[in-house]
Structure 1
Amino acid sequence: MSNHPFANENVMEDYMSALLTEEASEELVATDLHKQSVEQLLNTVPAPRSEPFEEPVKQVVEVQPIIAKVIETKVEEELTAVESKTEVIRPTVPEGEFQVLLFEVAGMTLAVPLTELGGIHEMQSVNPIFGKPDWFKGVLLHRDEKYNVVDTAKWIMPEKAVEKVAESTKYQYLIVLGESGWGLGCESLVTTETLLPDDVKWRKVTNSRPWLSGMVKKKMCALLNIPQLMSMLSQGLSSYD
């Protein structure tokens, strides 16, 4: 394990747990909003009438169009928001055993399914390209191939965490993602591991950090959603876009 500030076990546990518990938080928020809406509707129900029935008051009739208009506007806003986001590629949950490669970046362990690993190359000289995002280190030439090199720490970690590890992060290898031509900077290779689907806590929330498939429970490491990651990188998106 690297001697980075971010490698502290408590910090690591808090950070990785936060990535995977977002779904629970969002579900709770949705439940609270639903309860509030129900309570508001109940509060608008008129008290029982004791006097004889009379013609309905016009104000009561006009409530429905107003509510319908508000709901319609809200739905349109939500649809627009969904359409503006990048397409989400849901992770495929294997039916049986599968193997992953574990590697480290700034004290954080990440896992890549071997079926989606395009290769591993030693990090040699990287040619920087101007006008690219901060997380784009440059282009690595390996034989006749060109690979876009990602500063993994800057791409994945929050800004405050990156400031603590940026200077001390030394990439030794390039983890190539499938046949995309993109590669993640890697400080050290840990091992390969054979897992069962139940060994992973799969994420259900996909509207935030869709590049994260889940967490390998025993290893406390993030399992990457490689197809989603490749899609985001090709669009120039960071992990928080």
Structure 2
Amino acid sequence: MADEKMTKLADPASAIASYLDDLLHTATDSALREEVTVEAPAPEPEPEPPAPTVVAEPAPPEPVTAEPEVEVRHAPEPKPAEQAPVARPDWSEAPFECLIFTVAGLQLAVPLILLGAIHRVEDDSEIRPIPGSPRWYMGMRPDRDQNLRVVDTAEWIMAGRVPENARDNYRFVIRLDNSEWGLACDDVAQSFTLRPDEVRWRSARSKRPWLAGTVIDHMCALIDVRTMADLLVRAEREQHLDLS
């Protein structure tokens, strides 16, 4: 029985399902807390026992000296700083075209207005690896118009839960807007129109800032393209990568 349980935990499909559940939970958790607020009633205080009576002998009277009144002013307590909600992307205010692509069995969506290009990968030799680069960086894809820094998307967003040999299934590279970064993926699907009310938008992004929200009907995560590109640029700078 123990061996069977370990086999199930090690199954790539189970790892992907677990990650997707966690992804959707992260995106919807804050919204659900705003919709339903349950306050537990405060417990009634227990009556305190009566204080013991102490009889003291009267003290001799002392002369009373009038003291000047002193006005004490207390400084106002500072109000706690309120955390401003994360602003939704400007393209999310009206219906927009969206493209779904898959990475190691996980569905992701990107708005077409911020999709720079889609490149087909015919051969692994098209992407030139850079020695000493991190696992999430596949290498450089030379192009006539613009060289692309290709990201191993599974390693970038599913670190620690990447199925074995996931990189072998990459067949496309999606360029993020007009940046120099591209996301490697297994497959791309047809585009569709998405209304803003069909997305569970995130109000906070302390975790996975690139996740703008989730499209529940399609069971996929919606990528904030500009934030994703900014995070990749920051990672390149902080890790002192020579990717040129």
1:11 corresponds to 2:11: no
Higher helix share: 1
Sort the Cα spacing of 1:143 and 1:184 in 2 relative to 1 into closer, same or farther, 3 A.
same
- Within 5 Å, give how 1:107-146 maps onto structure 2: 107-123=105-121, 124=123, 125-146=126-147
After superposition, the CA RMSD in angstroms is: 3.8
| Number of residues of Structure 1 aligned to a counterpart in Structure 2 | 191
TM-fit CA distance, 1:12: 5.5
Offset at 1:215?
0.6
User: 1:96 and 1:7, CA in 2 relative to 1: closer, same or farther beyond 3 A?
Assistant: farther
Shift in CA distance, 176/8, structure 1 to aligned 2, threshold 3 Å = same
TM-score if structure 1 supplies the norm length? 0.66
Residue 170 of structure 2 is matched in structure 1 by: 171
Q: Does 1:161 align with 2:161?
A: yes
Task: For residues 147-188 of structure 1, give each alpha carbon's deviation from its aligned partner in whole angstroms, at most 9, with x where no partner exists.
Answer: 00000000001x3312xx141342100000011010000101
Task: Give the conservation status (yes or no) of the 8 Å contact 1:89–1:228.
Answer: no
* Contact 2:139/2:150 (<8 A) preserved: yes
State the 1:8 CA deviation: 7.4
Q: CA deviation digits over 1:32-59, x for unaligned, max 9?
A: 9xx9xxxxxxxxxxxxxxxxxxx9xxxx
The code of the aligned residue for 1:100 comes to C
Q: CA 1:101–1:214 in structure 2 vs 1: closer, same or farther (change >3 Å)?
A: same
Post-superposition, which runs of at least 4 consecutive aligned residues in structure 1 deviate over 4 A?
A: 7-10, 24-27
Summarize the alignment of residues 47-66 of structure 1 with structure 2, pairs less than 5 Å apart. none
Amino acid at match of 2:170: Y
Show the counterpart of 1:20: 27
* Aligned amino acid, residue 26 of structure 2: L
* Percent identical: 38
Cα distance, 1:197 vs structure 2: 0.6
Shift of 1:5: 1.9
Structure 1: gaps (5+ residues): 36-54, 56-60, 80-87
Q: Determine which of 103, 106, 115 is the counterpart of 2:104.
A: 106
The 1:151–1:198 alpha-carbon spacing in structure 2 relative to 1, beyond 3 Å, is same
Matches within 5 A, 1:17-96: 17-23=24-30, 90-92=88-90, 94-96=92-94
Distance across 2 between alignment mates of 1:9 and 1:156: 12
Q: From the CA coordinates, give the structure whose radius of gyration is larger.
A: 2
With structure 2 as the length reference, what TM-score do the two structures score?
0.65
Gaps of 5+ in 2: 1-10, 41-66, 237-244
Conservation of the 8 A alpha-carbon contact between 1:97 and 1:195: yes
